[in-house]
């Protein structure tokens, strides 16, 4: 039965079977050493009988070996490896698959390699130890979140990936319907509407580690598709949501990232006006030492303006249209007076100068939600077409509720000390939204377009 590289110390003196990749080959004439790599780590294997098959071995070949676990001579102990006190004396070798010379090096951290090469051969790039650690820690974070929230009576519910296109800030990714010709689904920018409808359903405590999609320009901390912790609570006040998230993240850092130190607990809170006046930012970096990569400075920002003026002289929402104004400003919303003075119940969580999450107490009364859409310039017909389902749902006894969405990609990049979120995502896109490995986006054949009732128009080049 196969064992893993990092388990060999428990099998000293016994015959074992290992399977993995040849990481390094060292030929010492009558003896050949290889480092065998599997998901757990690396083990040194010794061939004292150099057969033609052993001579052919090259890096990244996939092999199976049978051998005896021995203690290394004292002078040959490798303290840099978890199992550096042992090695395997090989008796049998089986080549499971050969490998061509790799187009990119995988024995370094990879930062020195061009991004286009790394993303084109991402399945090879992911063999490097740094990225494997990132993905394993990402899994550990997801597991911690699930366990923590489940103990607090939350349930995880999946929401649809194809839904209705509604204006919530960024552009939607549209999906044409073959059956309903001329009509479109959209990929969700977030599960915002669904999670509020869960509250109308009486589920009260929902969370989801959700995939979200936004057709916007990418950058170091942004991708076309991303992952967030999404949650919603019925009968919640602002403090309920903020305290829940604060407790979750403090415990998660203490358990999973003990090498990091949180600058201040409980997290400091600044109003939006205070943050802009003092730091000229609504996501200030409050680290005491900006060069300390193990310092985590969390900070809550509250009391955001609900609306901001557009270039056309109208108004748009600063975060999302479903937020509730502060109680003392509800009359201003309903009367649509002093719009620029209305503050919302929005709360954002910043970490080391990045926004890693945001939420609010929600507008749960139909009239109040409708007023928001009217202020941003929607007429009665458009409100009904885009959000009629929400307004109707709220008319059937919707509870007060609040929630938040936490960006997991940004958080992971910060705690893993990575320069951008592409380093903590298994298969990210380039800065211009391309998947170089799959060669997407790509053209489709005319038959597919005809089935969807679509025609591609060639764009004329601007002079």
Helices (H), 280-365: 330-335
Q: How far apart are CA 141 and CA 148, in angstroms?
A: 10
CA distances, 449 to each of 30, 97, 186, 199, 317 (Å) = 64, 41, 18, 39, 36
Which structure tokens are listed for 317?
Answer: 């929402």
DSSP 236-293: --HHHHHHHHHHHHHHHHHHH-TT-EESSSSPPEEEHHHHHHHHSSSS----S-TT-T
What value does the CA radius of gyration of the chain take, rounded to a whole number of Å? 28
Rounded to a whole number of angstroms, the distance between the first and last alpha carbons of the chain is 68
Identify the CA nearest to 403 among candidates 353, 356, 345: 345
pLDDT in tens, 371-394: 999 999 999 999 999 899 999 999
- Give pLDDT, residue 80: 84
Please compute the mean of the pLDDT values over residues 406-415 and round it to a whole number.
98
> Could you tell me if 296 and 263 are in contact, meaning their C-beta atoms sit under 8 angstroms apart?
yes
- Give pLDDT, residue 320: 86
Ramachandran quadrant class, 398 (left: phi over 0; alpha: psi -120 to 50; beta: rest):
beta
- pLDDT band at residue 168 under the 50/70/90 scheme: low
- pLDDT band at residue 169 under the 50/70/90 scheme: low
Is-cis flag, bond preceding 266, omega within 30?
A: yes
For the cut 70, the answer to whether the pLDDT of residue 463 exceeds it is: no
Which structure tokens are listed for 352?
Answer: 């080391």
pLDDT in tens, 222-233: 899 999 999 999
For the cut 80, the answer to whether the pLDDT of residue 253 exceeds it is: yes
- Give pLDDT, residue 167: 63
Per-residue DSSP letter, 22: E
Helix (H) or strand (E) holding 234: strand 225-234
pLDDT in tens, 116-147: 999 999 999 999 999 999 999 999 999 999 99
pLDDT in tens, 308-343: 998 888 999 998 899 999 999 999 999 999 999 999
25-29, 98-102, 208-212: least confidently modelled range:
25-29
233-237, 242-246, 379-383, 399-403: least confidently modelled range:
379-383
- Give pLDDT, residue 461: 63
Identify the CA nearest to 325 among candidates 352, 304, 298, 345: 345
C-alpha of 432 from chain center: 18
- Give pLDDT, residue 462: 58
> What does DSSP say about strands 298-302 and 401-407: parallel, antiparallel, or unpaired?
unpaired
- Give pLDDT, residue 459: 75
Please compute the mean of the pLDDT values over residues 276-281 and round it to a whole number.
97
Show the CA angle centred on residue 241, arms to residues 402 and 299, nearest 5°.
120
Q: How far apart are CA 348 and CA 151, in angstroms?
A: 25
Give the other-Cβ count within 10 Å of 11's Cβ.
14
Q: Which domains does the chain have, with CATH numbers?
A: 5-97 (2.40.50.140), 120-304+346-364+399-424 (3.30.930.10)
Q: Map residue 357 onto helix, strand or coil.
A: strand
CA atoms within 13 A on the CB side of 278: 11
Task: Name, in order, each residue with C-beta under 8 angstroms of 49's C-beta and a sequence gap of 6 or more.
Answer: none
- pLDDT band at residue 437 under the 50/70/90 scheme: very high
- Residue 89 phi/psi, 5-degree rounding, is -85, 110
- Give pLDDT, residue 214: 92
């Amino acid at each position: 039965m196969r064992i893993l590289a990092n388990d060999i110390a428990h099998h000293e003196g016994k015959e074992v079977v290992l399977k993995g990749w040849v990481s390094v080959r060292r030929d010492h004439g009558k003896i050949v050493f290889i480092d065998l790599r599997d998901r757990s780590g690396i083990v040194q294997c010794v061939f004292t009988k150099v057969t033609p098959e052993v001579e052919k071995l090259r890096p990244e070949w996939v092999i199976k070996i049978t051998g005896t676990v021995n203690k290394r001579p004292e002078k040959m102990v490798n303290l840099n490896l978890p199992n550096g006190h042992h090695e395997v004396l090989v008796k049998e070798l089986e080549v499971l698959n050969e490998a061509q010379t790799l187009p990119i090096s995988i024995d370094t951290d990879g930062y020195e390699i061009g991004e286009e090469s790394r993303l084109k051969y991402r399945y090879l790039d992911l063999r490097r130890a740094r990225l494997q650690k990132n993905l394993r820690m990402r899994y550990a974070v997801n597991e911690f979140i699930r366990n923590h929230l489940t103990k607090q009576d939350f349930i995880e519910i999946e929401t649809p990936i194809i839904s209705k296109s509604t204006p919530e800030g960024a552009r939607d990714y549209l999906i044409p319907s073959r059956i309903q010709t001329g009509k479109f689904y959209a990929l969700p920018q977030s599960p915002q509407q669904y999670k509020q409808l869960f509250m109308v359903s009486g589920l009260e405590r929902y969370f989801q580690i959700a995939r979200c999609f936004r057709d916007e320009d990418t950058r170091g901390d942004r991708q076309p598709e991303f992952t967030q912790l999404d949650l919603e609570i019925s009968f919640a006040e602002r403090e309920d949501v903020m305290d829940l998230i604060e407790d979750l993240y403090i415990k998660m850092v203490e358990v999973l990232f003990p090498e990091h130190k949180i600058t201040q607990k409980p997290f400091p809170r600044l109003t939006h006006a205070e943050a802009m006046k003092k730091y000229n930012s609504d996501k200030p970096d409050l680290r005491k030492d900006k060069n300390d990569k193990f310092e985590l400075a969390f900070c809550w920002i509250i009391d955001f303006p609900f609306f901001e003026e557009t270039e056309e002289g109208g108004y748009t929402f600063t975060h999302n249209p479903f937020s509730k104004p502060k109680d003392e400003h509800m009359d201003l919303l309903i009367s649509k007076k002093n719009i620029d003075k209305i503050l919302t119940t929005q709360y954002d969580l910043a970490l080391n100068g990045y926004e890693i999450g945001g939420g609010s107490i929600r507008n749960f009364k139909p009239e109040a939600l409708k007023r928001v859409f009217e202020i941003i310039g929607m007429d009665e017909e458009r409100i009904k077409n885009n959000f009629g389902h929400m307004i109707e749902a709220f008319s059937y006894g919707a509870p007060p509720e609040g929630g938040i969405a936490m960006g997991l990609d940004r958080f992971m990049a910060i705690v893993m000390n990575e320069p951008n979120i592409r380093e903590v995502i298994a298969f990210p896109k380039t800065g211009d939204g391309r998947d170089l490995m799959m060669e997407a986006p790509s053209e489709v054949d005319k038959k597919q377009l005809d089935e969807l009732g679509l025609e591609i128009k060639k764009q004329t080049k601007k002079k």
